[in-house]
Every structure is written in C-alpha cells, then in structure tokens.
Structure 1
Amino acid sequence: MGIGRNLSERKGRELRELREETNIDTNNNKSKKNRRHRQRNMSPGQKLFQTCNQVFASTGPGIVPSPSHIEMLFSVLGGIKKEDVGLKPEMSYFSSNSPRRTPKITYLHIYECEQFSMGIFCLPPSGVIPLHNHPGMTVFSKLLFGTMHIKSYDWLVDVPPHVPTIIKSSQSQAPDMRLAKVKVDADFNAPCDPSILYPADGGNMHWFTAVTACAVLDVLGPPYSDPHGRHCTYYHNFPFSNYSVDGLSIPEEERKSYEWLQEKEKPENLQVVVKMYSGPKIVEN
C-alpha cells in the first residue's frame, strides 16, 4: 500500500505540474497573440512612436543605434504615408501667399523627449531649409510627398594628418573655413526610401530645397538641445576651387565633390512657424 500511495502521489504531482506548464504556455501564447493583435491595430504614427521609444532607449549623443534597431526604424518609417499623419497637399502649409518673399516653412511638432524628437517640415514650392548640422545625432527623414532637392556633406577626415583641411580666416572675428565632402546632391521624388544620417557620416550637414510643395517627416535621436551643447549651426558653402591651400591637392575631375564650409548666423530670411501636430492621435505609454 505504501508503494501504491507513493506512485499515486507522484502521478498526481506530475499531473499538476503538467497543468501548470500548460497554463503558462497558454498564457504566453495568449500574450503573444494579444501583442500581435495590438500591433496590427496600431496606427502607423503610433507604431513609429513606439519604435522610436525602443530604438533610442539606450542611445545618446554620438551613440548610433544598433544595426537591427536602425533596420527596424527604417522599415516602420518607410511605410508611413502622408495620409497616416493627416496631411494633404492642398493644406495652407504648402502654399505661398507672396511669391516675391522667401516662403514660410511650417514645423508640425509631434513629440520630443531627451532621447528623440518627431516632427514634420511642411515646405511650399521654393521653400528652403538652409545648410545646417546635426551634432551628435542620428537622423531619419522620410519624404511624404512632393519633390525635394537635398544636398548634404560630411567633414573631410580620412586624410593624412599633414594635409590641411582648414583655412584660417584673415579676419579676426570671422570663423575658419573647413573642407567637406559632398555626399548627396540630387532631387528626390516621393514615394522613396527614408534617408539616414549619422553623427559623423551619411551627410550630417544638409539643406533642403522644395522643388514642389513637399513634406518631410524627421526623427532625431537625440534632439537639439542648447543646454547640452547640441546647437543648430548654419553654414556658407564655397566651391573648392575658390581657395588654394598649400599641401592640399585634389584631382580636377573630383573637385566638384568638395566644398569649403564656414559657420554663419541663422539666416534672417528663414521663417519657421512651429505648430502642434493635429493628425491621428499618438498616445504616450
């Protein structure tokens, strides 16, 4: 009877453990199904917000997200359309009331925290976001509609130490000029893939010119922050051939790929009006 009782107890215990394991597996499967269900029903804007939260959670100034996170955010951003953020080309943001004046640009603020920011630049035809930098940032941009000319640069750093890449200004108060390499100089037509620039590569300094009315969705990680030294700096650009520097030689056929950049004050004619995003609601979890 003792053996029979032990056998019965062991079988009962095994049965209880099996039930518990089955319940755990069932609960896990239900949880996974619920997550997939929520993701399927999530708006594209909400999905972008959730992805940014994940991608930039452990990054910071100068720290680039992992390749898998970059691919994840690139994929989510690439799937967003103008309708997903409540934009239409006929909105007043994309028209210029005075053709003789520099068109006003509207920035629709979506979200900002210490890790990242999300927003949309709305440009009328001929609108320009002048040449500027993104210190310590990884930036994802998606052209939502229209045609935009993008020109971008990186500082020239892959040269021997003895090769000069800076021209000292002859004026005591004027900034020095520094040599940069042109990374992109082309028109982009929506729909197209998002562009990515990194803290030291991929075109960290760029400008946008609206060939037609257009909108671009920007994700910055981390965002600009004056208290933390991440200022937006603007630049003049000059052809490489304008200046001659001893010890610096670039073949004639390659010179158009290099330009001298010099810091300047924010352009007086740059008008950017900040408005709150009013598209489909994004919930902060």
Structure 2
Amino acid sequence: MLDCILQIGIFCLPRAAVIPLHNHPGMTVFSKLLFGSMHIRSFDWVDSSEQIRSSNGACLAKLNTDSVMNAPCETSILYPAAGGNMHCFTAVTPCAVLDVLGPPYDGPEGRDCKYYTEASCSSFPGDATASAAPGDNDRYAWLEEMQGKPDDFNVRGEEYKGPKIVGY
C-alpha cells in the first residue's frame, strides 16, 4: 500500500471568514480560487537558513503578497521557502479555494502546521530590522508562533472514500 503523497482540501468560506496566518513547512502547495473573491496576505522568512529573531522570539518575514484575488484567476504555487509559504486568507465574498499539498502535513516528519500572529517592524524598536529592512519596514513584519491553533478556527476533514486511485 502506498503512503499518502498528496493532501487535497477544498475550503468553502462565507463572506468575511478567515483562514488564519499559517505555514506549510517543507511543502509545495498549489492553490486555486474556484469562485468568489479572497484577500491573500503572505510572507516568506527573510533568511530561511538562520531566521532573524526579535527580542521576544518572533521571526522576521518579508511580505510576498497583499492583494485581492478574483475568480477566475491563475493557480498560485507556494514553495517550501518561497512564494508566500506563510499566509492568511480572508473571504471578500463567499468563495472556495482548492489546495493540493505535497507532501502532506505530518508532525513526526517535521511538517506540522503552525499558526502565527503578525506585528509590524516598528513594534520592536531597537531590534535587528534596520539592516534587514532598511527604509522598507512596511514590506516586513515580525511573525510570532502561536501555541496551537486559534480557538475560533475549525476545519472539518473527511477521508476520501471514492474509487481507488492507482499509479501508472
């Protein structure tokens, strides 16, 4: 039997619903807005090899995307270290987004979903942003990892029970 190599999700969101700021560690994600409008705000770590940390432990990230997408539109691709791997979605209108993730989330393999809170660079005066983000602080933010997921965020998953998918 093959191990699961992909994870597929369809997120149906009513107007103003939010998928909070989260990551996809070591994963590539294909996202397709199926219908409606969605605001996307995404980040990548400034230095993925050695994260730049603030005095309170938050890590410096650079803004990748801050815009509204309207269906129909191109498929977005998030790579493990680029393309907006940490992102949040806010439904501008009722909408649905299809995500295909590979490899899937797997805590023991180091691919556990983490959620973040965002603070502006000016929130931590005297920290190391002057050299990392000279004169461009609005394109950078401190992301602080939350413990667990936000209390008001729930995702209901179901196992695929359709016809067996076989390789070629």
Q: Shared fold (TM-score greater than 0.5)?
A: yes
Higher helix share: 1
**What is the aligned length?**
162
**2:97 aligned with 1:216, yes or no?**
yes
Higher strand share: 2
Q: Aligned partners of 2:39, 2:128: CA distance in 1, in Å? A: 34
Q: Aligned partners of 2:89, 2:127: CA distance in 1, in Å? A: 33
Structure 1: give runs of 5+ residues left out of the alignment: 1-111, 170-175
In structure 2, which of residues 32, 42, 52 is the aligned counterpart of residue 165 of structure 1? 52
Q: Which residue of 1 aligns with 2:146?
A: 264
Identity, % of aligned positions: 52
What TM-score do the two structures reach when normalised by structure 1?
0.53
Amino acid of the residue matched to residue 268 of structure 1? D
Q: Secondary structure at the match of 2:144?
A: strand
Q: Aligned partners of 1:198, 1:138: CA distance in 2, in Å? A: 5
Q: Aligned partners of 1:194, 1:246: CA distance in 2, in Å? A: 37
Q: Which residue of 2 aligns with 1:121?
A: 11
> Is contact 2:52–2:128 with CA below 8 Å preserved after alignment?
no
Amino acid of the residue matched to residue 106 of structure 2? S
- Deviation, 1:119, is 1.8
In structure 1, which of residues 140, 147, 150 is the aligned counterpart of residue 37 of structure 2? 147
1:284–1:140 CA distance, 2 compared to 1 (3 A) = same
Q: Which residue of 2 aligns with 1:227?
A: 108
Amino acid of the residue matched to residue 156 of structure 1? V
- Deviation, 1:282, is 5.8
1:148–1:113 CA distance, 2 compared to 1 (3 A) = farther
Structure 2: give runs of 5+ residues left out of the alignment: none
Q: Aligned partners of 1:122, 1:215: CA distance in 2, in Å? A: 4
1:165–1:226 CA distance, 2 compared to 1 (3 A) = closer
What TM-score do the two structures reach when normalised by structure 2?
0.87
Q: Aligned partners of 1:195, 1:155: CA distance in 2, in Å? A: 18
Q: Which residue of 1 aligns with 2:84?
A: 203
- Deviation, 1:247, is 5.1
